[in-house]
Chain A
């Protein structure tokens, strides 16, 4: 609502500044109701999945490669653990592929020396805030179902209304235009056209068609019930602990995507971008007509 109000005042300004060479392009209906609804449901889902996932990870903050966890041999790839220094003070240590980092205050150890909290992820980033694996699982598995259901709705709707073919799956022309698009992005020049630019297509296709299925399938690979039902699934990923590690890695990719995604929205014009994802209407550049496929 706030976005719409400021957009209005912006257009009043635009009417006054008649001599500026930057004329406004047309408003186009860019995002269908299916795209918009599924987008915002995913925002809610991924928020709760991420923070309840941190809660679940805290119950055993070590990742391994293979079928099982090495307790008498070493197949660790990551651990976030509290340690006690020689002087008796506490610290947090994150170890990735044998390289250790002091992450005191955030990872492994948070709180104060007097009231230490020995948690991989600190209480301000987990749901619930206190240590409670059972509730973390309840939240995670609930939103897991919503995520999968929304993915299904999005896929069917996008297949039928052409969103998938038109905007998501990259084509030859997109790869040809890629170098130019990268240099434009590097100079913070964002062309506002009806369709997505090649970088958008590639990143959305990667997230929607690779990372989303990957995060769901690695999640299912950790389920002993699914292991009995679909024995081939866990073999694709090379064992339950590898699947757990990939699940964590997919989470990191999603967090990185979120950061870049929000950054791009801010840089490309947050009001126009947010309006298109709320109302569907998007203002394109004046030149965008000729670029239309």
Chain B
């Protein structure tokens, strides 16, 4: 313990001697320019566009996320974020084992459609063992089974100007001035048609549990966990997401995180 304190003191002493000294005594001097809406913060988050462009170039359309073997599943999947939505509609559906649940797919499509869980389970399925990387820094390996999003898109036939798939979710994250703030997320058509992008209804060889997003959650394996919306009830194809909620295309993007979560 004493060693730690000594290091800290030494660090401070040297820091004070150095150019950074003034700032080290109170890092809150940078706080105002980092609040949302400040031009400095807006400029810095622009680096995310560069990251997206470079990563898209390096990985191409169809490069795959690593898939693991059965033996590498060493624990249950850690639930995070919402783990039990408490809206009336969700609780009603959950009590009936989601037998009355429907996934709606609409927006800029030739034929809007609805699918119940039985229909989704009878579609071609894909099972993948992947590592879930949370923006917080932890990772967890689990097995996911679901229907490729590309298969559903082939049936509803997106129109030429459909640029994004928006996922509307049951879980409510809070209450704002304009009412309840639901979780939502969006991906572009490159990720929407990626072979590993699935709507999962199964996890680790069992039915997807409520805490992990039952009855249906998204897997987008080349991005961080917050892109993988849980409790999905509607997929809307849009040209732009600027009219949705705060206009950043995702609940977390509306709260300061990057829309592109490849890093």
**Cβ-defined contact, A129 with B20, below 8 A:** no
**Cβ-defined contact, B27 with A129, below 8 A:** yes
B25 to chain A, nearest CB (A): 7
**Cβ-defined contact, A128 with B27, below 8 A:** yes
Q: Which B-chain residue is minimally distant from A46 (CB atoms)?
A: B20
Q: Which A-chain residue is minimally distant from B60 (CB atoms)?
A: A229
Q: Which of A69-77, A82-90, A154-162, A166-174 contacts B (4 or more CB under 8 A)?
A: A69-77
**Cβ-defined contact, B34 with A128, below 8 A:** yes
Is A153's beta carbon under 8 Å from chain B?
no
Q: In whole angstroms, how far apart are the Cα atoms of A123 and B262 in the complex?
A: 28
**Cβ-defined contact, A263 with B1, below 8 A:** no
Give the bracket for the number of chain B residues in contact with chain A: 35 or more
**Cβ-defined contact, A67 with B141, below 8 A:** yes
Is B11's beta carbon under 8 Å from chain A?
yes
Most chain A CB neighbours (cut-off 10 Å) among B25, B138, B224: B138
Q: Which B-chain residue is minimally distant from A223 (CB atoms)?
A: B263
Is B28's beta carbon under 8 Å from chain A?
yes
A118 to chain B, nearest CB (A): 15
**Cβ-defined contact, A125 with B24, below 8 A:** yes
In the complex, per-residue mask of B28-43: 1 if CB is within 8 Å of any chain A CB, else 0: 1011001000000100
Q: Which B-chain residue is minimally distant from A40 (CB atoms)?
A: B19
Chain A contact residue count (CB 8 A cutoff):
60
Q: Which A-chain residue is minimally distant from B194 (CB atoms)?
A: A228
Q: In whole angstroms, how far apart are the Cα atoms of A60 and B134 in the complex?
A: 10
Is B44's beta carbon under 8 Å from chain A?
yes
Q: In whole angstroms, how far apart are the Cα atoms of A139 and B64 in the complex?
A: 29
B3 to chain A, nearest CB (A): 8
Query: Knowing A133-B136, A231-B66 touch, does A51 contact B27 (C-beta < 8 A)?
Result: yes
User: Which residues on the B side are within 8 Å of A103 (C-beta)?
Assistant: 1, 4
Is B112's beta carbon under 8 Å from chain A?
no
**Cβ-defined contact, A142 with B10, below 8 A:** no
Is B106's beta carbon under 8 Å from chain A?
no
Q: Which A-chain residue is minimally distant from B137 (CB atoms)?
A: A60
User: Which residues on the A side are within 8 Å of B64 (C-beta)?
Assistant: 228
Is B173's beta carbon under 8 Å from chain A?
no
**Cβ-defined contact, B28 with A123, below 8 A:** yes
**Cβ-defined contact, B59 with A229, below 8 A:** yes
Query: Knowing A223-B263, A228-B65 touch, does A72 contact B76 (C-beta < 8 A)?
Result: yes
Q: In whole angstroms, how far apart are the Cα atoms of A139 and B47 in the complex?
A: 10
In the complex, per-residue mask of B5-24: 1 if CB is within 8 Å of any chain A CB, else 0: 10010110010011110011
Is A109's beta carbon under 8 Å from chain B?
no
Most chain B CB neighbours (cut-off 10 Å) among A124, A127, A227, A230: A227
**Cβ-defined contact, B63 with A228, below 8 A:** yes
- A-B contacts, 7 listed (Cβ < 8 Å): A124-B26, A129-B26, A129-B28, A225-B55, A228-B222, A240-B133, A258-B14
A residues adjacent to B (C-beta < 8 A): 43, 47, 51, 56-57, 59-60, 62, 67-73, 94, 101-103, 106-107, 123-130, 132-135, 137-139, 141-142, 145, 220, 222-231, 234, 240-241, 244, 255, 258-259, 262-263, 266
B residues adjacent to A (C-beta < 8 A): 1, 4-5, 8, 10-11, 14, 17-20, 23-28, 30-31, 34, 41, 44-45, 47-48, 50-51, 55, 58-60, 63-66, 68, 72, 74-76, 78, 131, 133-141, 221-224, 252, 255-258, 261-263
